[in-house]
Amino acid sequence: MTSTPSISFAKFAAPKKGSAMVLVADGGVMSDAAKALDTAGAFSRAFTASDFSGRSGGTVEILAPEGSPLDRVVALGVGNPGEIDDYSWLKLGGSIGAQLRKAVEVAVIAELAERPLEAGEVARLAAGLLLRCYTFEKYKSRKDDADDKPANTRPAKVTIHCADPAAAKKAFADLQAVVDGVTLARDLVNEPANVLGPVEFAASAKGLEKLGVTVEILTEKEMKKLGMGALLGVSQGSARPPRLVVMRWNGGKAKDNPIAFIGKGVVFDTGGVSIKTAAGMEEMKGDMGGAAAVTGLMHALAARKAKVNAVGILGCVENMVDGNSQRPGDIVTSMSGQTIEVLNTDAEGRLVLADALWYCNERFQPKFMVNLATLTGAVMVALGKSYAGLFSNNDELAERLTNAGLTTQEKLWRLPLGAEYDKLIDSKNADMKNIGGRHGGAITAAQFLKRFVKDTPWAHIDIAGTAIGSLSNEINQSWASGFGVRLLDQFVRDHYES
């Protein structure tokens, strides 16, 4: 059962029943279509009574307006119409989503006083609305329990009234691809680890074949043959075998080297023998947030037929405690040939990514590699939960990612790399160790990854603080935000489509 609203687009017409949503600019300025719904001056009285001036983010609800067939009109403030950017439209759509409540029929009047909304703006409203209304309810067998947010068993039917419904529909199809990618990523992260193991994760990625993505799944045996001792060492304590997923979307020119995205897919992280404390360990079902974002991104690129060649690689393993688990002090040999002394089995994400990055680079000679990972608690100590950590060996790549972060409000903050940090992971007994000591933990983790990318332009995005246990905002109310999908889709749109 889903309560996902359905959305359609129509020409302006006065709604005759249900709820209507209208946009109000600074100073209480409304479009003619909105004013026409105000049959007996109820709006201006309500605005005054609730001190509403149309500032961005404000809302007023007018119930059963006098002389009107409508049950409810919600006025949404948009502030200064000259200052509404792409993300503001998405947020406004989110606010509309929040105002649906139990409404069944909803008309959104997509018009400002000066002009009707453009098709792209209308599409953003719709996308924001859907992102906001996402819920993860598949394991709630009782829909009517005490929880004060009962699922709406009759999903809202939202009609967006606009100047050019056909153009809006077309613009929305493109954004729907991205919304579906975010939804897929959120679903994967929210799914518990008993249901979603490495094999199941890979099977879910295989589902992208219906969009024209080529999906290969490497088994344990194949990874052994490739010499992926770092990834396999993490996996060896789990009863469930690992998988390496290779997704390819070829929407660009045949001769163009691909761009590549690599995700940490630890379906559950107990810490291994260096076991984590009990409190909050359940959150480690989300330790595949990087792999989920890469899967969601590949979905988005394929569904909107992006003109780019892109590779997505997922290292899917489970980090468990067992008689066969790897021990602190074990030395493993990575696919690169470099040896690693595993001093803490809880620093496992970097071990998985070491082999995934090396494999990607060797096989595809990508233009660049961007990896996403819920890699360290330390990145949250540094940046909190509002920014993901960005590390890169390439200033242009870092700047492009940072800018896509500003556009999408999936924000990145660059942290340093350097020789002084790199030497902290030198080991007495092997080429390197997998931890760097007490300080700068997010940085030493990044330095570790850097040893597996040669000179290929590369960026690492540490999403431990942003992908799971996410802050709620206008377009996300879920524990799993799907962080990275909108960011990387924007980054690809801005620079890599031919």
Per-residue contact track with ligand BES, 248 to 277, x per CB under 6 A? ---------------------x--------
Cα(462)–Cα(293) distance, integer angstroms: 12
From the list ligand BES, Mn ion, Zn ion, none, partner contacted by residue 377 (C-beta under 5 to 8 A by kind): ligand BES
Q: b or e along 72-83 (b: 16 or more beta carbons within 10 Å of the residue's beta carbon)?
A: bbbbbbbbeeee
Question: In the complex, what is the shortest distance from the CB of residue 245 to ligand BES, in angstroms, rounded to a whole number?
Answer: 19
Within 8 A by CB and 6+ apart from 116, the residues are 12, 31, 110, 162, 163
Nearer to Zn ion, 15 or 349 (CB): 349
269 binds Zn ion (CB under 5 A): yes
From the list Zn ion, ligand BES, Mn ion, none, partner contacted by residue 378 (C-beta under 5 to 8 A by kind): ligand BES
Q: Which residue is nearest to Zn ion (CB)?
A: 269
Active site (catalytic) residues = 276, 350
Per-residue contact track with Mn ion, 325 to 354, x per CB under 5 A? ---------------------x-x------
236 binds ligand BES (CB under 6 A): no
Cα(402)–Cα(494) distance, integer angstroms: 12
Strand partners, 201: none
Among 187, 287, 410, 422, binds Zn ion (CB under 5 A): 287
Region of residue 424 (left: phi > 0; alpha: psi -120 to 50; beta: else)? alpha
220 binds Zn ion (CB under 5 A): no
From the list Zn ion, ligand BES, Mn ion, none, partner contacted by residue 234 (C-beta under 5 to 8 A by kind): none
Question: In the complex, what is the shortest distance from the CB of residue 288 to Mn ion, in angstroms, rounded to a whole number?
Answer: 12
Nearer to Zn ion, 78 or 231 (CB): 231
Within 8 A by CB and 6+ apart from 170, the residues are 119
CB 54 within 8 A of CB 29: yes
**Which one-letter amino acid corresponds to residue 260?**
A
Site for ligand BES in 435-464 (CB under 6 A): 435, 441, 464
**The token pair that represents 27 in the structure block:** 């100073």
Among 187, 220, 269, 318, binds Mn ion (CB under 5 A): 269
Q: How many residues lie near ligand BES (CB under 6 A)?
A: 16
Nearer to Mn ion, 42 or 320 (CB): 320
Cα(32)–Cα(42) distance, integer angstroms: 15
Q: Which residue is nearest to ligand BES (CB)?
A: 377
Q: How many residues lie near Zn ion (CB under 5 A)?
A: 4
CB 267 within 8 A of CB 375: no
Site for Zn ion in 337-356 (CB under 5 A): 349
Selected range binding ligand BES among 207-215, 297-305, 347-355, 421-429, rule: CB under 6 A: 347-355
Contacting residues toward Mn ion, per CB under 5 A? 269, 346, 348
Contacting residues toward Zn ion, per CB under 5 A? 266, 269, 287, 349
